[in-house]
């Protein structure tokens, strides 16, 4: 992250009386007397004194033109160049910031802070190896806390948790626990190994420290604390602290994207509440970009091969990749030219499988591209239909979509809850996700298909075995959904189920429930405490942590019946369970997040597993738990494959018809009154 040492020092010097401290542009100890300043240099000094106050209070947009003006008056001043780089970095322009830090290093090759800020810029551009090298160079020049903190962050990005934690500890020790950035990055590293209490504590200490520094509290500490509370299933706290982060960094769309997702997880959130959160995001971040929308010059031939772009960050081992990856692989190359804009920092075996798609025309890694830069690239590629498969999730590119780089834009699959953007024309759904009576909760036009999604497991699945209760002598219930989806209302329903089936057991599986060495985490213990308070002995609850995917799939076989979470239900977990022969009971709600499993079960002809009230949920579980599910269990994988949910080719042919109709509608409307699809 940005080194605060050099910036704070420049600010302090600019604000301090001359009798106590000289400004950064004057004589330095051990250097010859500074020459007499020219008039333009004096003007630069006066401007920087004003800009320093704005920077101190994080008014970066206002400070930017002032520092640029100062630099035009004194273009060889390394300090001004350095400060300009810091502002550009704070404003989300890491590539431009890097140019300035490179200039600063060129003027002062051994300037540790400049090398360190190069590291921060490179990290934000996705060049993790470059970030490590720059931070190591900063340490060579002058070992400092910020460089160690950046090395911690860089190794976290590389997935080397051991080195990340070691550098984080070194940063904290060097600063004697008084540097907020060291604590922030260390907390992120601890979060990666599921040491969530230690991770949260580091962020809280960073908040305390930064609150006493110029400019107030650090938004990153609040944003990270929100993410940790979310992983602990403490969603109300997650939303509250993330709200504070948004107040401190209103220019950061990612922070407010997190607020959208945390709001979706709350049981009291209404359909209109969810839409309002999205429209607020659009007002803040799409609104200023709309004046830059341009007419699209795409070839208007209605029957030509269409250019379809997919934008996301999970073209790798990730639950969403089993949906959009299946579509990309199944596209007909005679009809569709696929353009993939992949924001994932790395590729793996799932990436390789997706890349087998015969319709792929271009695969562009975009992690190092700024949102506006990506939008310009898509516009130049003349993509006809652009599909967002990430939404508000990490790595999402809704700012890119807000630039309207393609004539037709849609939202689907990855976070299928609508975006609220004016630039987003359609939302791909089905009759269960968005029935006609709920359309008012979505800003996009709803396009209904035979099923919400399709799915490819990308591995050979084991044949379902017999129900475990035949061997165990008791019913085993299970939930493999993330803990943030386990709300208080669904927990109470689960406990009512278990009290009504006295000999039942339950398996909960999620990465945050055990440590890497298999020990129960604080989150796991707190969850068992909740069961116990609601009358279910903790010994009846088994918690499991992360496993390789093949083992994860095998462990579905340990379950007789899956219990869905609420109001954010399962999706891929429901499908993986079905492929393993395990049916899921779900509670239908009024918003898309609570209707995904119901959509899947409806496609499979299993509406009798869908409850519309908590009481019905309990009764369905009791009835199914006592029934003989052997035949259903054996036939369920083939039932999935017989529908568009489990047949990517059939689903994609249907999708291609939708794309063709949208394209013809756009051509018709452009020839008439404008560019809107709907």
CATH number of the domain within which 139 lies:
1.25.40.10
Q: How many residues would you count in the chain? A: 678
295-322 burial, b at 16+ Cβ within 10 Å, e below that, comes to: ebebeeeeeebbbbbbbbbbbbbbbbbb
Q: What is the pLDDT of residue 677?
A: 62
Query: Which structural domain range is residue 543 located in?
Result: 469-641
Instruction: Tell me, yes or no, whether 462 lies in a domain.
Output: no
Indicate whether 464 belongs to any domain.
no
pLDDT for residue 34: 56
Task: Indicate whether 547 and 437 sit together in one domain.
Answer: no
For residues 539 and 587, state if they share a domain: yes
pLDDT of residue 17: 40
- Which residue did the predictor score with more confidence, 26 or 316? 316
Confidence (pLDDT) at 31? 53
Average pLDDT, the chain: 91
Average pLDDT of 285-297? 96
pLDDT confidence bin for 23, thresholds 50/70/90: very low
Q: Are residues 103 and 250 in the same domain?
A: yes
Pairing of strands 408-411, 385-388: parallel
- 23 against 519, higher pLDDT: 519
Question: What does DSSP assign to residue 452?
Answer: S
CB distance 504 to 624 below 8 Å = no
**Residue 203: what pLDDT?**
97
pLDDT band at 590 (very low <50, low <70, confident <90, very high): very high
The conformational region for residue 58 under phi > 0 = left, psi -120 to 50 = alpha, else beta, is: left
Using the predicted structure, report yes or no on whether residue 12 has a pLDDT greater than 60: no
Q: Is residue 171's pLDDT more than 70?
A: yes
Give the tokens for residue 482.
Answer: 């993330």
Q: How many domains does the chain divide into?
A: 3
pLDDT band at 397 (very low <50, low <70, confident <90, very high): very high
Q: Is the pLDDT score of 1 beyond 70?
A: no
154 and 213 part of one domain: yes
Nearest-Å Rg of the Cα atoms of the chain is: 27
Dist. CA 13–CA 56, nearest whole Å: 12
Mean pLDDT throughout 85-110? Answer: 93
The answer to whether residue 220 scores a pLDDT higher than 50 is yes
Measured between alpha carbons, how far is 678 from 665 in angstroms, rounded to an integer? 8
Residues 487 and 422 in one domain: no
- CATH code at 516? 3.40.50.2000
> Does residue 287 lie within any of the structural domains?
no
Rounded alpha-carbon distances, angstroms, from residue 65 to 52, 88, 96, 422, 549: 12, 11, 14, 30, 51
Question: What average pLDDT score do residues 392-419 get?
Answer: 95
Banded pLDDT at 126 (limits 50, 70, 90): confident
pLDDT at residue number 32: 54
What pLDDT is stored for residue 35 in this prediction?
65
Q: Of 253, 269, 285, which marks where a domain is finished?
A: 269
Burial class (CB in 10 A: 0-12, 13-18, 19+), 76: exposed
Q: What is residue 27's predicted lDDT score, i.e. its pLDDT? A: 44
Which residues, at least 6 apart from 205, have a Cβ–Cβ distance to it below 8 Å?
177, 183
Contact 13, 26 (CB under 8 A): no
In a domain, 330, yes or no: yes
| Residue that wins the pLDDT comparison between 368 and 653 | 653
Clarify whether residues 316 and 446 are in a common domain: yes
Residue 676: per-residue pLDDT: 60
Confidence of residue 92 (pLDDT cuts 50, 70, 90): confident
Contact 113, 3 (CB under 8 A): yes
Least confident window among 202-216, 318-332, 479-493, 564-578? 202-216
Cβ neighbours of 628 (radius 10 Å): 10
The mean per-residue pLDDT over the stretch 135-161 comes to 90
At 650 the pLDDT is 98
User: Which candidate, 146, 182, 143, 140, places its Cα nearest to that of 165?
Assistant: 182
- Could you identify the residue written with the tokens 């001043």? 77
Out of 33-42, 248-257, 459-468, 639-648, least confident range: 33-42
Q: Hunting for tokens 């499988």 — which residue is that?
A: 353
Q: Tell me, what's the pLDDT at 4?
A: 42
Q: What is the pLDDT of residue 424?
A: 98
Identify which of 576, 126, 548, 593 has the alpha carbon closest to the alpha carbon of residue 313.
126
Query: How do 505-509 and 584-587 pair as beta strands?
Result: unpaired
Residues 397, 516, single domain; the answer is: no
pLDDT band at 159; cut points 50, 70, 90: confident
Buried b (16+ CB within 10 A) or exposed e, 137-148: bbbebeebbbbb
Looking at residue 143, its pLDDT comes to 82
Greater pLDDT, 11 or 364: 364
**Shared-domain flag, residues 547 and 666:** no
Residues 6 or more apart whose CB falls under 8 angstroms from that of 307 comprise 298, 337, 339, 361, 381, 382, 383, 384, 385
Q: Based on the domain organization, do 123 and 238 belong to the same domain?
A: yes
Q: Is residue 119 in a domain?
A: yes
From 205, 237, 269, give the residue that closes a domain.
Answer: 269
In a domain? residue 463:
no
What the block records as the tokens of 393 is 């999730």
Residue 410 lies in a domain: yes
> Are 476 and 587 members of one domain?
yes
Q: Residue 372 maps to which CATH number?
A: 3.40.50.11380
Taking residues 202-224, what's their average pLDDT? 86
Mean pLDDT of 477-503: 97
Whole-angstrom distance, CA of residue 234 vs CA of residue 222: 14
Res. 217: pLDDT tops 70: no
For 56, residues 6+ apart whose C-beta sits below 8 A from its C-beta are 11, 15, 214, 215
Q: How far is CA 408 from the centre of its chain?
A: 24
- Answer yes or no: is pLDDT of 669 > 80: yes
193, 165 contact by CB (below 8 A): yes
Q: What does the alpha-carbon distance between residue 529 and residue 139 come to, in Å, rounded to a whole number?
A: 46
Dihedral angle at the C-alpha atoms of 526, 527, 530, 532, nearest 10 degrees? Answer: -100
Q: Where are the beta strands (DSSP E) in 369-518?
A: 385-388, 408-411, 426-429, 445-448, 476-479, 505-509
Is the CA virtual torsion 647, 648, 652, 655 positive or negative?
positive
The reply to whether 203 and 168 lie within a common domain is yes
More confident of the two residues 621 and 29: 621
Structure-token pair, residue 299: 């070839």
Buried b (16+ CB within 10 A) or exposed e, 470-490: eeeeebbbbbbbbbbbbbeeb
Residue-by-residue DSSP string for 506-549: EEEE-GGGB-TTSPBPHHHHHHHHHHHHTT--GGGEEEE----H
Least confident of 23-37, 70-84, 233-247, 368-382: 23-37
What are the DSSP calls for 611-629, one per residue? ESSHHHHHHHHHHHHHS--
Are 327 and 376 found together in one domain?
yes
Q: Determine the Cα–Cα distance for residues 365 and 136; give it in Å rounded to an integer.
A: 26
Is residue 116 in some structural domain?
Answer: yes
pLDDT computed for residue 614 by the predictor:
98
- Where residue 159 falls (left for φ over 0; alpha for ψ -120 to 50; beta otherwise) is left
- pLDDT score at 2: 43
Question: Tokens at residue 32, please?
Answer: 């010859």
**What's the pLDDT tens digit per position in 174-196?**
999 999 999 999 999 999 988 99
Structure tokens at 176: 């004697």
């Amino acid at each position: 992250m940005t080194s605060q040492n050099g910036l704070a020092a420049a600010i302090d010097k600019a604000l301090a009386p001359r009798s106590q401290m000289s400004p950064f542009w004057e004589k330095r100890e051990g250097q010859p007397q500074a020459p007499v300043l020219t008039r333009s240099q004096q003007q630069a000094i006066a401007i920087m004194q004003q800009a320093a106050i704005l920077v101190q209070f994080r008014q970066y947009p206002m400070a930017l033109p002032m520092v640029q003006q100062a630099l035009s008056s004194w273009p060889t001043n390394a300090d001004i160049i350095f400060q300009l780089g810091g502002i550009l970095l704070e404003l989300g322009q890491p590539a431009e910031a890097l140019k300035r830090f490179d200039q600063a290093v060129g003027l002062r090759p051994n300037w540790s802070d400049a090398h360190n800020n190069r590291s921060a810029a490179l990290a934000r551009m996705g060049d993790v190896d470059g970030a490590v090298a720059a931070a190591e160079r900063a340490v060579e020049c002058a070992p400092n806390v910020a460089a160690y903190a950046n090395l911690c962050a860089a190794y976290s990005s590389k997935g080397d948790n051991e080195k990340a934690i070691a550098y984080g500890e070194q940063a904290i020790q060097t600063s004697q626990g008084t540097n907020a950035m060291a604590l922030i990055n260390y907390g992120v590293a601890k979060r990666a190994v599921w040491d969530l209490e230690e991770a949260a504590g580091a962020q809280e200490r960073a908040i305390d420290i930064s609150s006493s520094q110029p400019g107030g509290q650090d938004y990153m500490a609040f944003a990270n604390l929100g993410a940790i509370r979310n992983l602990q299933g403490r969603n109300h706290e997650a939303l509250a602290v993330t709200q504070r982060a948004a107040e401190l960094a209103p220019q950061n769309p990612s922070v407010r994207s997190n607020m959208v997702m945390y709001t979706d997880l709350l049981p009291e959130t209404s359909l209109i509440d969810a839409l309002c959160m999205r429209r607020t995001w659009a007002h803040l971040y799409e609104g200023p970009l709309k004046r830059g929308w341009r007419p699209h010059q795409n070839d208007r031939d209605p029957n030509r091969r269409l250019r379809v772009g997919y934008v996301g960050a999970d073209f790798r081992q990730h639950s969403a990749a089993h949906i959009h990856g299946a579509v990309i692989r199944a596209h007909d190359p005679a009809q569709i030219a696929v353009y993939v804009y992949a924001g994932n920092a790395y590729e793996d075996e799932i990436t390789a499988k997706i890349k087998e798609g015969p319709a792929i025309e271009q695969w562009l890694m975009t992690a190092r591209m700024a949102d506006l830069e990506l939008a310009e690239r898509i516009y130049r590629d003349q993509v006809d239909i652009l599909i967002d498969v990430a939404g508000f999730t990490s790595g999402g590119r809704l700012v890119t979509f807000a630039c309207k780089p393609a004539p037709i834009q849609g939202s689907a699959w990855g976070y299928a809850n609508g975006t609220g953007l004016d630039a987003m024309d359609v939302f791909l759904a089905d009759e269960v996700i968005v029935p006609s009576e709920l359309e008012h909760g979505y800003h996009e036009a709803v396009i209904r298909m035979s099923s919400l999604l399709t799915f490819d497991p990308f591995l050979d699945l084991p044949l379902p075995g017999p129900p475990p209760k035949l061997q165990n002598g008791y019913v085993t219930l299970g939930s493999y959904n993330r803990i943030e989806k386990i709300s208080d209302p669904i927990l109470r329903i689960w406990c009512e189920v278990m009290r009504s089936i006295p000999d039942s057991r339950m398996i909960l599986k999620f990465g945050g429930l055990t440590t890497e060495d298999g020990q129960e985490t604080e989150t796991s213990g707190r969850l068992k405490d909740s069961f116990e308070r609601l009358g279910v002995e903790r010994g009846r609850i088994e918690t499991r942590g992360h496993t390789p995917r093949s083992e994860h799939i095998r462990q579905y076989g340990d379950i007789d019946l899956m219990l869905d979470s609420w109001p954010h239900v399962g999706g891929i977990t429901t499908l993986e369970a079905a492929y393993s022969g395990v049916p899921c009971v779900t509670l239908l709600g009024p918003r898309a997040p609570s209707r995904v499993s119901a959509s899947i079960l409806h496609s499979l002809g299993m509406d009798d597993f869908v409850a519309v009230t908590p009481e019905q949920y309990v009764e369905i579980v009791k009835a199914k738990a006592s029934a003989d599910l052997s035949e259903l269990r054996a036939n369920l994988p083939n039932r999935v494959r017989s529908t568009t949910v489990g047949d990517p080719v059939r689903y994609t042919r249907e999708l291609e018809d939708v794309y063709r109709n949208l394209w013809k509608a756009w051509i018709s409307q452009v020839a008439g009154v404008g560019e809107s699809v709907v």
